[in-house]
Every structure is written in structure tokens, then in C-alpha cells.
Amino acid sequence: MSTVSIPATTTTARTAPAWSGLRRLTRVELRKMVDTRAGLVLAAISLLLVLLPIVTDLWRTARSKNTFTSLIGDSLGGLVLLMPILGVLLVTSEWSQRTAPATFTLVPNRGRLVAAKGLAALLFGTAIGVFSLVTAALAFTVGGLLHRTGGSWSISPWLVPFLFLWLYVVILQGAAIGLLIRNSALAITTFLLLPTVWTVVANVTPGLKGAAAWVDLHTALVSVTDVDRMTGADGAHIGTALLLWLVLPTAGGVLRLVRTDVA
């Protein structure tokens, strides 16, 4: 009696699972931003912080001051603190929820995971920026019908690029600090306290007042709103501030992550 033998198949190369691709990882990270109760609440607050200042100004501010430019500024004012906090929570979720061992087992390539989190932060910032612009445009239109807005639709050509640049920088800044510290509460506290500490130190140390343009990221970025008048010094200020508050924390966080043995 003869038996039929089935030849064993061998694979010459080990292929990574499809779900570990950068695109799918980015979608997963975006979903995780609103998967938890805290993330969902913060996302809802982000939308409210865009809407409430606009509605308040349309109701209380004089018509001549409610321009399209001012409404765009209103839509961003409340996000100055919230966007970095969302960035912090995006990168600290594995540690705060104790899912790091499972995450790094499923995705051994930690660099790809960090890249996915960064892309998720940029996509979320883009969505908020688009929402802010659309909300400001609708408010300006409705306000015109109600005689609560004035001026024309014309804005500075650099206002919209600055809007998105600012959103990208602040959310990535929060993500960088979260990646470096890896503790949600401590990272958020650090981010909120550092500007206050810097202001106090600069005020009591006269020699440091001139360093604000080099160290204060928001002060440095303001020059982007008038690119036609930017100087080489302005570019140097932006580069130095980004290096201190974005590049170095990100590099330190990635290095720490790569060297950490997640048990």
C-alpha cells in the first residue's frame, strides 16, 4: 500500500503582516485617539473650543471687529493648550493603559510605531485646522446675514499656512514631551509648567529677556504670519526654538524607547 506524500512548502522570506503597515498603524492610532472616554471627551472639547469663541464674539463684539481674520483667530485661541495635551495622550497611551508589551510584541518595529503616531497627530491637526477654517467661514457668512460681521473675505496669504504650521508644531511638541517622559500626568504637567517657569526666570533675570525670541517657540513662530518681512534672524529664532522644544525631545524619546526593554 503506497502513501501519497505532500511536499512541505517553505518560505524564503518572512513577510510582515499586512496590519503592521504604516498606513494601517496610522489608522489604528487615529482610532485610539477617540477610543477611550478621555480621548473622546478631549476631541469633543476641541470642537467646542473652536465654536464657542466664535459664537461669543458674534454675540458680544462690535460688528466692525468681527472680520474673517478675527474669526479664524477666535477658532484657534482655545486650542493653545488642548492640542499638546492630545499629543501627549497619543504617545503615552501604551504606558498609561499598560498595553506596551502587547503593542511592541505585535509591532516590533518601534520606529514605525513612532512614525504612525506622528502621522496620526498631523492628520488630526489637519482635521482640526480644516474644521476651524470652515467654521470661521460659515460664521462670517451667517454673521453677515445677521449684520454681526464686517470687512471682506480677504486675509493675509500667510495666515492659513501659519494656522496649520502652528497646529502641527504644538501637537507634535506635546507628542515629543510625552514620548520623552512616557507618563501622561507628568508630561502634561511638565508641558503646562515649563512656560510659566521660563516666564518667571526670565523676568527675574534681566540677561534672559533677550533670549525669549530664541527659546520661546510661540514668540518665534509669530514671525511666520508676515513672511514678507521675515529676516535671517527670525529664521534662526524659529530653528533654535524648534530644535529645543521639538527635535531634541523627540530624539531623546525615540532613543529611550528603542533602548527600553519592555517586559
Who contacts 89 (Cβ-Cβ below 8 Å, separation ≥6)? 33, 38, 39, 42, 96, 178, 184
Nearest-CA neighbor of 162 among 121, 218, 88?
218
Q: pLDDT category, 248, cuts 50, 70, 90?
A: very high
Using CA atoms of 231, 236, 241, 246 in order, give the dihedral in degrees to the nearest 10.
110
Spell out a b/e string for 216-246, using b for 16 or more CB atoms within 10 Å of the CB, else e: bbeebbebbbeeeeeeeebeebbebbbeebb
Q: pLDDT category, 13, cuts 50, 70, 90?
A: very low
Instruction: Determine the average pLDDT of the residues in 58-67.
Output: 79
Q: For residues 86 and 124, is the Cβ–Cβ distance under 8 A?
A: yes
How far apart CA 55 and CA 53 sit, in angstroms, is 6
How far apart CA 178 and CA 86 sit, in angstroms, is 10
Highest mean predicted confidence (pLDDT) among 28-37, 93-102, 195-204, 225-234: 28-37
Identify the H or E element spanning 126.
helix 110-145
Highest mean predicted confidence (pLDDT) among 67-76, 111-120, 215-224: 111-120
More confident position, 136 or 231? 136
pLDDT at 63: 75
More confident position, 113 or 219? 113
pLDDT at 209: 67
Quote the pTM value: 0.81
Three-class DSSP category at 261: coil
More confident position, 32 or 255? 255
How far apart CA 143 and CA 61 sit, in angstroms, is 11
How far apart CA 160 and CA 152 sit, in angstroms, is 16
Q: For residues 138 and 47, is the Cβ–Cβ distance under 8 A?
A: no
Cα angle 83, 114, 195 (rounded to 5 degrees) comes to 35
Three-class DSSP category at 5: coil
Rg of the chain, C-alpha, whole Å = 23
pLDDT at 106: 80
Three-class DSSP category at 214: helix
Instruction: Determine the average pLDDT of the residues in 210-218.
Output: 75
Burial of residue 7 (CB within 10 Å: 0-12, 13-18, 19+) is exposed
pLDDT at 101: 75
The three cell numbers of residue 178 are: 510625552
Spell out a b/e string for 130-160, using b for 16 or more CB atoms within 10 Å of the CB, else e: eebbebbeebbeebbeeebbbbeeeeeeebe
Would the pLDDT of 185 be above 80? yes
Mean predicted lDDT score pLDDT of the chain = 80
